Structure 1
Amino acid sequence: MGKLVRDGIPALVGAGAVARILEMDEYAVALRAKLNEEVAEYLEAHDPEELADVLEVLHALAALHGLTPQDLEARRAAKADARGGFGRRVWMDF
């Protein structure tokens, strides 16, 4: 069993590491799984350092869709302008 790791991890692990480059379809699946993993780690630890890992995965997912981090931020900002953000802590019961 394996998992998607940051690009520099195989060199840190050394000769015992077995690594391969994923095909694009495998990569997309692995990134979605990695997003779940990183979000779960943040939810468990409540450590803002884990948010950096979530953001890294989000940037990689955005790149799969042809978006740069700036493109993603522009889309986020446009949604915030149109509908607001989450800073006011608004809760609705349906």
Structure 2
Amino acid sequence: MAGTETSAGDGKSVRDRIPQIIRNEGADPVTYVAGAEEYRARLREKLREEVAELLDADEGSAPGELADVAEVLLALAADLGLSPEQLEAIRVAKAGERGSFAGRIVWMGNR
């Protein structure tokens, strides 16, 4: 983290405490607050990044990576005006309607 520099136009969404953590390490982070449209786009890009890290993770690091994915999902939900409880209610309704993934079913097509 410290020592990483980006050129103009680069950057990525980071957790809210990251700038202070960087300062505590003796560096001076360059940050700004994204507007609504940029924020949504950057969150979607962050989700891609976190999912890729989860897919590459071993069993030991997978729980932390999964938590990172969940954090971005909750931020995306909030950006859409959904509370965690509302998101969970939608998930439960879809699971009731279509099922979940607990059965480990693999669809091979139709006959």
**Shorter-normalised TM range:** over 0.9
Output one character per residue of 1:4-49: Cα deviation in whole Å (capped at 9) or x when no partner: 0000000110151001000000000000000000000000014111
Structure in which a larger fraction of residues adopt helix? 1
Work out the CA distance in 2 between the residues paired with 1:40 and 1:73: 23
- Amino acid aligned to 2:90: R
How far is 1:93 from its partner? 1.1
| TM-score normalised per structure 2 | 0.82
Establish whether residue 89 from structure 1 lines up as the match of residue 104 from structure 2: yes
Work out the CA distance in 2 between the residues paired with 1:4 and 1:55: 15
Work out the CA distance in 2 between the residues paired with 1:63 and 1:10: 22
Percent of residue pairs bearing the same amino acid type: 52
Give the aligned length. 94
Structure 1 segments (4+ residues) deviating >2 Å: none
- Amino acid aligned to 2:68: D
Match of residue 17, structure 1, among 23, 29, 48: 29
Output one character per residue of 1:52-71: Cα deviation in whole Å (capped at 9) or x when no partner: 10000000100111100000
Establish whether residue 48 from structure 1 lines up as the match of residue 63 from structure 2: yes
Output one character per residue of 1:60-89: Cα deviation in whole Å (capped at 9) or x when no partner: 100111100000000000011111100000
* Structure 1: runs of 5+ lacking an equivalent: none
Work out the CA distance in 2 between the residues paired with 1:20 and 1:36: 22
| TM-score normalised per structure 1 | 0.96
| Coordinate RMSD, CA, aligned | 0.9
Work out the CA distance in 1 between the residues paired with 2:46 and 2:30: 19
- Amino acid aligned to 1:62: A
* Structure 2: runs of 5+ lacking an equivalent: 1-9
